[in-house]
A and B are shown apart, each in its own frame.
Chain A
């Protein structure tokens, strides 16, 4: 059994390597990578789903069937739980953007849950791009509402003595830019870590059964029986990851909505 554990830790490097993105053409900095490909695929699937939904809803306001009801439930979820909850009165104005972010992230996450496919959101390049869009969006909303200088000034709360206001302003500016990084890194880390954990259990399940296939003995049977446990854990982790993929899309959208709300808020 010790051998099997050694073998697992030997193949860890290879496993982690396989989750890094590889370029199809160009290089990993500027170019078309495998993750970008799956992200585009996820976007295409998303568009197909929504055009199909739109065709189904033509000429009627009542959704019929599992598909139309399911899509409508998700849209309602974004509208009620995320937008109305976080934004209040102006939710209708920001709903299109936030719903787009939600569905792009959700489809990007779920496409990685299919075996041998890679998550579209599994690299900092893609998550960074989505985070940058939502970052630009809330800054634009703030600047539209308060004017360019008004927004920059409103980072620090009004009514503070000058030296403290300057310090608070610098801290707030720093934390505003930190939002961009945390949005991107949170999504990437969740996808990456989840896939690594699933990969480890998959490797364990196969490595522990190998001695039993090579030469059948009582000891090998004991080791092989362990792989049933790893298999069960793998399925459990897979179910948790299905939940995490949805929660990450939800959190990404919710945080974007909260940032928009903060940019809009009159004085804080």
Chain B
């Protein structure tokens, strides 16, 4: 049951990071000169998303 719940949690996080990565890749293709700042924003956004997923992981195995 825990594993199933965590699987559902991962779907959400994967979609979130995928959306962020798509947007960043698109923006970099349009405007390569803002690469550095976009990378920071991307890392920040994925950190927030990933944190939810990791909290799910820890809750699932406890």
A contact set with B: CB distance below 8 Å: 12, 16, 81, 85, 182, 185-186, 189-190, 192-193, 196, 247, 250-251, 254-255, 258
Please determine whether B58 and A186 come into contact, CB atoms closer than 8 angstroms. Answer: no
Q: How far is the CB of B48 from chain A (nearest CB, A)?
A: 8
Which bracket fits the contact residues of B?
Answer: 10 to 19
Instruction: Give chain B's interface secondary structure class.
Output: helix
CB-CB under 8 A from B51, the residues of chain A are: 182, 185-186, 189
B contact set with A: CB distance below 8 Å: 36-37, 40, 43-44, 47, 50-51, 54-55, 57-58, 61
Please determine whether B43 and A189 come into contact, CB atoms closer than 8 angstroms. Answer: no
Q: How far is the CB of A79 from chain B (nearest CB, A)?
A: 14
Instruction: Give chain A's interface secondary structure class.
Output: helix
Please determine whether B61 and A196 come into contact, CB atoms closer than 8 angstroms. Answer: yes
CB-CB under 8 A from A81, the residues of chain B are: 36, 40
Q: How far is the CB of A72 from chain B (nearest CB, A)?
A: 20
Please determine whether B40 and A85 come into contact, CB atoms closer than 8 angstroms. Answer: yes
* A-B contacts, 8 listed (Cβ < 8 Å): A12-B61, A81-B40, A186-B51, A193-B58, A247-B47, A251-B47, A254-B44, A255-B44
- Complex Cα distance A193/B37, Å? 29
CB-CB under 8 A from A186, the residues of chain B are: 47, 50-51, 54
Cβ contact of A251, chosen from B44, B54, B58, cutoff 8 A: B44
- Complex Cα distance A9/B58, Å? 16
CB-CB under 8 A from B44, the residues of chain A are: 251, 254-255, 258
Q: Which residue of B lies closest to A189 (CB)?
A: B54
